Amino acid sequence: MFGIPLSAVSLPFFGSSAKAEALTPTVLSYEQVQELGRELDELRARTVAKLGDTDREYIYNIVKTQRGFEIAGRAMMYLPFLPPVWLAGVGALGVSKILDNMEIGHNVMHGQYDWMREPGFNSEVFEWDTVCPADQWKHSHNYMHHTFTNIVGKDRDIGYGILRMDEGQKWNPYYLGNPVYAFLLMTFFEWGVMLHDLESENIIQGKRKWHDVKPLLQGMWRKAGRQVLKDYVIFPALSGPFFVTTLVGNVGANLIRNLWTYSIIFCGHFPTGVQTFTEEETADESRGEWYVRQMLGSANIEGSPLFHIMSGNLSHQIEHHLFPDLPAHRYPELAPEVKVLCDKYGLPYNSGGFFKQIGSVWGKIFKLALPNSLTGSEPTVGVIVERKKVAA
């Protein structure tokens, strides 16, 4: 039996810290965890049984909407002498790219629509409108991040190899630039996502060899080349005398998408109250324990139905991490049931408005620029999971 701390920081407490002892942690027995796992499996099965025409119509409607925004946006950019129209065009193209990346790309590439057996919606062949090649993203995201969610040292989404997002990451003077790196990552987010699977810090440390990296670079060159050609050469060229305004507009649309996707994604795992884990804590996890880790390691954002669509339903990050391959538009209907289970087992259900969540993310980015000794840690109520080693 040992504890998984629930705090903004990963301070492993085993009942030894005086501060931690003052709080009453939730204790989940081995049997409770297994039972919770079973209940979540059932919830999943009930949802899978419902999949059909409505889900198909939903995703086709989203695609239609996205295509509409894309075409309208590109068309409106032909009228740069009417500034409001041009601006609306940039906005519409930005919206189109957000929908393409989040509610369509991210979710399709999770295999959420593979059951339709429709070539245009198949996770193996789908490509999205961003510079990161789909196959590399599926490795770094679907595999690394979703399997090892919030395990410090394994989940490379903790700080993307650039930022210090957890107290468990050792501080060094490089991290004084944490807010600057975060700002740059936000601005150039699609490029950051592209470089993610390279594990550049491992290349610098000599842990990755050229033959590991070469195919990745070739894939990036191909994919990013096409994206750049389309947005920064072909469409501007097609607008003739308006080359520059179209170019600027396309940069703007990509930037809108970058700021938004970065913010939504950082709200999913880094606000206050989200837990991180160590490799030892999570060795030989059972399915129930895996579920618990997903719930404690994710955070939701509250908002309107439109907000959820624009965030690819990653505003339901908890549900997404429990059931990454269920069509995301089902998460809102799953959320109340997940919350009931959390209440039943005394687990936290981390949810808050956009400004609250993003505020606490930036707070953490600034705070963790400094060593722990300067800022102090604030452990809060933890969840203790009783673990029995699975007999070999």
Partner 1 sequence: MTVQQKTRRPSSRSKFSLLSLFEAMATPHALDRYLELVDPMTTVRDLRGEVTAVHRSTADTVTLTIRPTHQWQGFEAGQFVQVGVVIDGVRHTRCYSPACSQYRDDGRIELTIKAHPEGLVSQYLHGNAYVGLVVSLSQADGTFHLPSPRPDRVLLISGGSGITPVLSMLRTLLDEGYSGALTFLHYAYTENDVSYRAELDAIAAENDNVRIVLAYTDQESGGDLHGFFGTEHLDAVAPWYSDAETYLCGPPGLMRGVKSVYADLGLSENLHLEEFAAPVAVVAEDAAGDVTFSDSDVVASNSGRTLLEQAEDAGLTPAYGCRMGICFTCTSVKTSGCTTNVKTGEKDSEPHKKIQLCVTVPVGDVSIEI
Q: Is 63 in the site for partner 1 (CB under 8 A)?
A: yes
Q: Is 154 in the site for partner 1 (CB under 8 A)?
A: no
Pick from 317, 231, 322, 304: which is nearest to 270 by CA? 317
Q: Is 41 in the site for partner 1 (CB under 8 A)?
A: yes
Q: How far is the CB of 147 from partner 1 (least distance, A)?
A: 4
Exactly one of 128, 242, 260, 266 binds partner 1 (CB under 8 A); that residue is: 128
The span of 16-24, 79-87, 114-122, 352-360 binding partner 1 (CB under 8 A) equals 114-122
Exactly one of 13, 160, 191, 290 binds partner 1 (CB under 8 A); that residue is: 290
Q: How far is the CB of 60 from partner 1 (least distance, A)?
A: 8
Paired tokens of 46: 């009930």
Exactly one of 8, 10, 40, 55 binds partner 1 (CB under 8 A); that residue is: 55
Which residue type occupies 95?
A: V
Q: How far is the CB of 56 from partner 1 (least distance, A)?
A: 4
Positions 163 through 192 that interact with partner 1 (CB under 8 A):
none
Q: Is 353 in the site for partner 1 (CB under 8 A)?
A: no
Residue closer to partner 1 (CB basis): 206 or 240 = 240
Exactly one of 52, 215, 346, 353 binds partner 1 (CB under 8 A); that residue is: 52
Q: Is 12 in the site for partner 1 (CB under 8 A)?
A: no
Residue 107: partners with Cβ closer than 8 Å, 6 or more residues away: 113, 312, 313, 327, 328
- Please count the residues of this chain forming the interface with partner 1, following the rule CB under 8 A: 46
Q: Say how far apart CA 249 and CA 87 lie, in whole Å.
A: 8
Q: Are 320 and 339 in contact (CB under 8 A)?
A: no
Exactly one of 75, 204, 217, 229 binds partner 1 (CB under 8 A); that residue is: 229
Residue closer to partner 1 (CB basis): 229 or 251 = 229
Q: Say how far apart CA 374 and CA 371 lie, in whole Å.
A: 6
Q: Is 140 in the site for partner 1 (CB under 8 A)?
A: no
Exactly one of 27, 32, 87, 146 binds partner 1 (CB under 8 A); that residue is: 146
Exactly one of 97, 138, 329, 364 binds partner 1 (CB under 8 A); that residue is: 138
Q: Say how far apart CA 235 and CA 138 lie, in whole Å.
A: 29
The C-alpha torsion from 183 through 185 and 190 to 196, rounded to 10°, is: -170
Q: Is 283 in the site for partner 1 (CB under 8 A)?
A: no
R_g over Cα of the chain: 22
Task: Give the per-residue contact string, 93-112, with partner 1 (x = CB under 8 A; - = no).
Answer: -----------------xx-
Residue closer to partner 1 (CB basis): 115 or 362 = 115
Q: Is 230 in the site for partner 1 (CB under 8 A)?
A: yes
**Token pair 């050792």 in the structure block, residue:** 170
Binding site for partner 1 (CB under 8 A): 41, 44-45, 48, 51-56, 60, 63-64, 67, 110-111, 114-120, 123-124, 127-129, 138-139, 142-143, 146-147, 223, 226-227, 229-230, 234-235, 238, 287, 290, 324-325
